[in-house]
Amino acid sequence: MPRLDKLPQLDALVLVPAVRLFVERASAARPNFALSEANASSVAALCVRLDGLPLAIELAAARSGLLEPWDLLVRLGARLSLLTDGPHDLPPRQRTLRGAIGWSYDLLSPHEQRVFRRFGVFAGSCTLEAAHAVVRASDEPVVDDFECIATLLDRGLLQKDVQTDAGPWLSMLETVRDYAVEQLSANGEFEHVQRRHAEFYLTLGEQVANPRLDEPDGPALMAVIEREHDNLRAALRWFVERGEAEASVRLAAALWSFWEKRGHWSEGLRWLETGLALDGAVAPAARAQALLGLAVMHRERSEFAAAARLAQQSAAIHRKLGEKVAEGLALIILSDALALAGDPLSAAALAAESATLRQGDPLSKAWSLLVCGYIAAYQSDFVRARTYYEMGLVLRRGQGGNELDANLLHGLGAVLAGADDVSSARPMLEQALALHCARGEPRGTARVLLSLGALLARQGEVAAGRAKLEESLRVFRELGEGVGVALCSLMLGVTLPEGMLAELGENPLTMWWRLSLGRDAPLATNLVAWRIAEESPSVPASQGSSVANGLTPREIEIMKLLARRFTNREIADELNLSIRTVERHINNVFNKTGLTNRRQTLDYAQRHGLLPGE
């Protein structure tokens, strides 16, 4: 079948067997039919939606005398009703898709039929464990389900997707699944089987999702949840449609950590809001957990005021329940959101309170220390931030593999980079990057790439730094994390959508700069100063040695003005920079060139062709 993510050119697409069959049968129904740029994507999508089944493709193509491919695609929701009236030279059972599947279904034993139709409730693939839990009710006689599943596999009514250490994952073609659901409803079983499906995935979600995803086995668990995501969505949808508030909130509350780490923030927000809005009693602990998840979704979407309000509600419920560790978690989310919303003093007090509440749990306390470090960095107190990060790493000594370890290394690496301790900062950031990549965490990966790219650019490795920042920007865009997109874009000199900076506000950008670079941010009114990895202009050959010495284009400009005896204030005015930024660039120039005073800059600039004509 064709790949929809990378559709080939027409001459290659028409050679794909499923597409070729569709074109042949469509041409028979309408002689002037041809594959074109206008209909290619619809034809390819039709073949994929029909699972590449020859009979299904022939039946769909036969409708081409009346319907265009995109019309067929729209009407494909009811596949079994649409795909009728096949070639009359075939046996009756092969003239419609329903007939073809129904003939295979009729050949099954009654128990095999029951297992087949109950498989229809699964969205995508499932494990054998899930199949056994869902296809047979507890009050039904014990029968060998393995034999039934083997028969369904042999007859093509089930597919084996992949083999894992835990066993095979099984699935149905969508066209076959439609028939199974039709039979399930006809036998009056749909509601009962769908409930077993939903309850199984509620249990699964609560067992594996939250809070275990931070742990060393988190990546493996996230892979399981990712594969089961469609089934978990189906369970959520079923609970919501029936107004089951408790179950909806519990499952959404269990999944918010997964949604956070995988970047499903808008989807997570929708499920959490929907569950919390349902009428019906919900246990206070589940409500508090869901409120906290909703706060995190808002925070990741750069909606900090809403995040703070929801985290505060969560903390209040946990406080009333006497759950100190859970209250401490809510407080660190609250403190981070408050700081980014513009209240770092309140945030610092709440982060410290969180660390006290979680004193008896070393892992939880280390998380609180991490956020205490963030709050200190937000306030430009990088010495105190370093202390908190180091305290957290001491608590984690001898352990590893937790997401927390990567975050602590990132925080400390950024502070060391800001202090110009590059020899310590760079390997620390690289280690944090490797941990996040190994864990499959796009958000953490993007954040470390930002810090590492900025460090490389500031050290004169502009091309390498720019590559890291561009990758960070790509991931932030995929995630939809506005502050990350804006900060990377400013550093790279990439034009932002109109109004984006005003919408985000100055405070989050300044906070992220301090956190990511371990140093104070430029003035918000001087956006040029944020461009630390702007694409280098072409440099004449006579300037080659200066670039070889590691001077960035901005530092070359500073060097030229120093040689012309500009004061720091004059340089700042000329380049529209802050005095502090000019001083930093001058220090970098002296460190890279080995010069010790301004008088030496004239000779250096002349020798390296920086003052042409002089």
What tens digit of pLDDT does each residue of 249-306 get?
Answer: 999 999 999 999 888 888 999 999 999 999 999 999 999 999 999 999 999 888 999 9
Res 88: pLDDT: 46
What tens digit of pLDDT does each residue of 226-263 get?
Answer: 999 999 999 999 999 999 999 999 999 999 999 998 88
Res 124: pLDDT: 83
Residue 211: which pLDDT band, with cuts at 50, 70 and 90?
Answer: low
76: Cβ contacts below 8 Å, ≥ 6 apart: 46, 49, 50, 60, 82
CATH tag, 108-188: 1.10.10.10
Residue 544: which pLDDT band, with cuts at 50, 70 and 90?
Answer: very low
- Classify residue 154 by burial, with Cβ atoms within 10 Å: 0-12, 13-18, 19+: exposed
Rg (the chain; Cα; Å):
30
Given a cut of 70, is residue 471 above it in pLDDT? yes
What tens digit of pLDDT does each residue of 91-111 get?
Answer: 444 445 666 677 678 888 988
Domain ranges of the chain: 10-91, 108-188, 400-520, 542-607
Given a cut of 70, is residue 72 above it in pLDDT? yes
pTM: 0.71
Q: In the CATH scheme, what architecture does the domain 542-607 have?
A: Orthogonal Bundle (1.10)
What tens digit of pLDDT does each residue of 35-51 get?
Answer: 988 889 889 988 887 77
Longest dimension (CA), the chain: 98
CATH tag, 400-520: 1.25.40.10
Q: Which of 22-26, 409-413, 502-506 has the lowest mean pLDDT?
A: 502-506
CA 588-593-597 angle, 5° bins: 80
Query: In CATH terms, are 108-188 and 400-520 the same topology?
Result: no
Residues belonging to the chain: 614
Res 141: pLDDT: 64
Please give the C-alpha separations between residue 493 and each of 295, 448, 457, in angstroms, as whole numbers: 32, 19, 13
DSSP class of residue 120 equals G
